[in-house]
Amino acid sequence: MLLQLSTWPEVEAYLERSQGIILPIGSTEQHGPTGLIGTDAICAEAIAHGVGKEIGALVGPTINVGMALHHTGFPGTMSLRPSTMILVIRDYLVSLARAGFCQFFFINGHGGNVATLKAAFAESYVTLTDLGLPNGDRARCRVANWYMCSPVYKLAKELYGDQEGAHATPSEVAVTQFVYPEAIKRVPLSPEVAKGHSIYGAADFRRRYPDGRMGSNPDLATPEHGKQFYEAAVKALSAEYLEFLAAD
């Protein structure tokens, strides 16, 4: 059930049986020479929709732009500042809490979002309580990184070993190939790829990771692999979401 394809009476009826909602969040950033700029949002959205369909949960609109300042040295990357993102998340949650939602499950596709999301949760708990919103003092948030699910992580190691890398990975590229097979990109990639450097500013990142990859070989990705990752993530996150709802 997608929020944007529902009517307000349908959402009101949903709230009678559940106060939980799934919110996909990703990023709009470079993913190497062959990875789609929307990779993180595409993966989070597809998997969140799969979870919602699997267990009958309501899924909100995808937050497509995240905290990706360190990728802004590459054309096409868009980013929110951490302070801006905290306000965006807080305002999303205030809007939903006014209707009666109090369990917010973020399916995340971008590692750079995690620290800011956790800060946003802390900010939101205070705001929701201070505003005296319905169930405001019962609000709970969780960030679930699809790429860190145990079966997903295990499958990536089995298929790619050390060539999975840390960014523009074959696992995430494979999911985008499964979702958008018509948008698969192929260009020659250097067999030598930078890895192991700390992340600082955008100029430093571009200098240390000149083609945008971080120890990864996305040439290994296939749509068939993407289907496996998608199914593994949907199964694992469906169980995690139900556990999250039950732990009241």
pLDDT in tens, 62-118: 999 999 999 999 999 999 999 999 999 999 999 999 999 999 999 999 999 999 999
**Burial bucket for residue 64 (CB in 10 Å: 0-12, 13-18, 19+):** middle
What pLDDT is recorded for position 136? 86
This prediction has a pTM of 0.96
What's the gap between Cα 201 and its chain centre? 22
Residue type at 187? V
What pLDDT is recorded for position 133? 84
Residue 248, in any domain of the structure: no
For the segment 173-194, the average pLDDT, to the nearest whole number, is: 96
pLDDT in tens, 201-245: 999 999 999 999 999 999 999 999 999 999 999 999 999 999 999
Q: Which domain holds residue 15?
A: 3-242
Q: Give the mean pLDDT of the chain.
A: 97
Residue 13, in any domain of the structure: yes
pLDDT at 24 over 90: yes
Residue 247, in any domain of the structure: no
Residue 159, in any domain of the structure: yes
pLDDT in tens, 130-147: 998 878 889 999 999 999
For the segment 158-163, the average pLDDT, to the nearest whole number, is: 97
In this structure, what CATH number is given to the domain that contains residue 111?
Answer: 3.40.50.10310
What pLDDT is recorded for position 248? 67
- Looking at the 3D structure of the chain, how many domains does it have? 1
Residue 26, in any domain of the structure: yes
Pure H helices in the chain: 8-15, 39-55, 82-99, 114-130, 150-160, 170-179, 202-208, 223-246
Residue 212, in any domain of the structure: yes
